Structure 1
Amino acid sequence: MQATVAVLHTHVLVVILFLILFTAKAVMLFLNKHSLLDKAKRYTKALDMVFGTLILVTGGYLLYLYQGMQGWLIIKIVLVLLAIPLGIIGIKRHSKVLTALALLIFLYVYGVAETKSLTMRTPGPVTNATTDDDSSPITDAAETGTANIDSKNTTEEMVATIADAQLANAKAIYTQVCETCHGPDGAKGFGGAANLKVSNLSLQDRINVVENGRGLMPGFGGQLTEQEAEALAAYTMTLKK
């Protein structure tokens, strides 16, 4: 688990450094600072090679951890493999068009990665529409409120069934593999990590995230038992405000 987290953090750090370096060169190009750009290219040539290699190696490893290939992920990989050489060629040839295109692709890929959607739209809440003549807003609201209360009570009961010893072990696991990104209180948000203090995910949804991963977070289903994954998900619910 520690190795997986280390690879994840290395990947995020390298991507950020690569983008900062590329953006700095792009700014020099757009401002027609060609002599300064040429000097920067000479000094950072080795860094470009190192960053590119690390992005491919760490990204490949994290991809291996994914349970199944989703459409948005495949498109993201293709675009990244396209944008990196496109950006390098654009900077090398002082082509503002290629450089700008690479920047736009990087921005789009970031949006896709954050939303896990090619349209960069997060799924909205599902509403239960009805066309029955005898339905009324008051009745629907009452039923919805009752359902929410029942769901909350069910979740609390499920968390309550987790033994104290299991929660203590889950806290230790959380400290070891989750705290770096989510923080001790769940609100750190490093690398796009969800704010667990305000998350409305159900216990089952949290178990799915723990086991299968989400965004840059890898899944730990192969490293945790079902009981450990359930206890860890239950522990994250204790962080809610």
Structure 2
Amino acid sequence: MTTASLHIHVLVVVLFLLLFLVKAFLLFAGKHETLNKTRSSTKMLDIVTGTLILVSGGYLLLNYNGPLPSWLLVKVVLVLAAIPFSIVGIRRHSKVLTSVGVLIFLYVYGVAETKSLKMRPDKGEAVAVSPNGKVGTASPHPGKASNPIVAQLEGTQLDNTKAIYTALCANCHGADGQKGSSGATNLQESTLTVEERREVIANGRGLMPGYSSQLSEQELETLALYSTLLKK
């Protein structure tokens, strides 16, 4: 249900933005008569998409797994501000209000993509913890034998873990970890430790479901280790 709501939310947001940008273009181009006709013909669609954005967004917030990050809270507030700015700006043919709406939406997009209010995600080293307690960083070259994680995930276990990642994770994270579909974290830039990654895989976070009921303890651990191999 949450995944379906996310798809609906993304769809209505894209539709709302496309309609808004078309009207903004007509406004800045001075085509006021065409703008009035367009606004009149899409009035009901604007109401429906605006309402669906609020309803689907609210549902996703209520079902968010874990504490809400600051960037997400700011994003919600800005979207709530941008929608009326955009509607009123187009209705009054105000280039100032419309420009504010465009700028807010652009900033919100940047925040959503980077999950950072500065639109610059922090980068750090992924930590690999071996069974004997040794700590090291994951190598950007997973094929090298010197990588402590590869040494732990040898042969069939490495293949099985990769298959699990492909089946459960690649759809949103991508084969290289940076697809970012449905708000998935960029695994190449994640600063989470192996234990923190295992916790997220087991219990879920945000819109990501938990897999503790599908995977064994060993599979959760090896999948967490494997995810660090995607580190840049």
Give CA deviations for 1:4-23 in whole Å, capped at 9, x if unaligned: 22222221222112111111
Q: Give SS of 1:76's match.
A: helix
Query: Deviations along 1:30-58, whole A, 9 cap, x unmatched?
Result: 00111111111112112111211221122
The alignment status of 1:25 with 2:47, answered yes or no, reads no
Looking at structure 2, the residues matched to 62 and 4 of structure 1 have their Cα atoms a distance apart, in angstroms, of 7
Show the 5 A alignment for 1:106-121. Answer: 106-121=105-120
Partner of 1:228: 215
Under a length normalisation based on structure 1, what TM-score does the superposition of the two structures give? 0.68
What pairs with 1:70-219 in structure 2 (closer than 5 Å)?
70-125=69-124, 147-148=136-137, 152-154=147-149, 157=152, 172=167, 174=168, 178=169, 180-182=171-173, 190=181, 193=184, 203-204=194-195, 206-210=197-201, 211-213=203-205, 218-219=207-208
> 1:13 matched to which residue of 2?
11
Aligned to 2:128: none
* Whole-angstrom CA distance in 1 between matches of 2:171 and 2:44: 30
Deviates more, 1:69-78 or 1:147-156: 147-156
Q: Secondary structure at the match of 2:215?
A: helix
List structure 1 runs of 4+ shifted beyond 2 angstroms: 146-152, 158-172, 178-196, 198-214, 226-233, 235-241
Task: Tell me if the contact between 1:159 and 1:234 (Cα under 8 Å) persists in the aligned partners.
Answer: no
Change (3 A) 1:195 1:55: same
Higher helix share: 1
- With over 3 angstroms needed to count, the CA separation of the structure-2 counterparts of 1:26 and 1:149, relative to structure 1, is closer
Give, in whole Å, the separation in 1 of the partners of 2:58 and 2:209: 17
Gaps of 5+ in 1: 127-145
**How large is the RMSD of aligned CA atoms in angstroms?**
3.9
CA contact (8 A) 1:203 1:234 kept: no
Once the two structures are overlaid, the 10-residue window that deviates more, 29-38 or 157-166, is 157-166
Q: How far does the alpha carbon of each residue in 1:127-178 deviate from its partner, in whole angstroms, 9 at most, with x for none?
A: xxxxxxxxxxxxxxxxxxx944799414652688969888767655x2xxx5
Change (3 A) 1:78 1:187: closer
**Amino acid of the structure 2 residue aligned with 1:62:** L
Task: Kindly indicate whether the alpha-carbon contact (under 8 Å) linking 1:171 and 1:235 is maintained by their aligned counterparts in 2.
Answer: no
Tell me the CA shift for residue 236 of structure 1: 9.7
How far the C-alpha of 1:119 sits from its partner, in A, is 1.8
Percent of residue pairs identical: 48
CA distance in 2, matches of 1:7, 1:159: 39
CA contact (8 A) 2:138 2:147 kept: yes
Unaligned runs of at least 5 residues, structure 2: 126-134, 140-145
**How many angstroms does 1:180 deviate by?**
4.7
Letter in 1 for 2:208: G
* Structure 1: distance between partners of 2:150 and 2:25: 51
Which deviates more, 82-91 or 114-123?
Answer: 114-123
Q: Is the CA contact 2:111–2:117 (under 8 Å) kept in the aligned structure 1?
A: yes
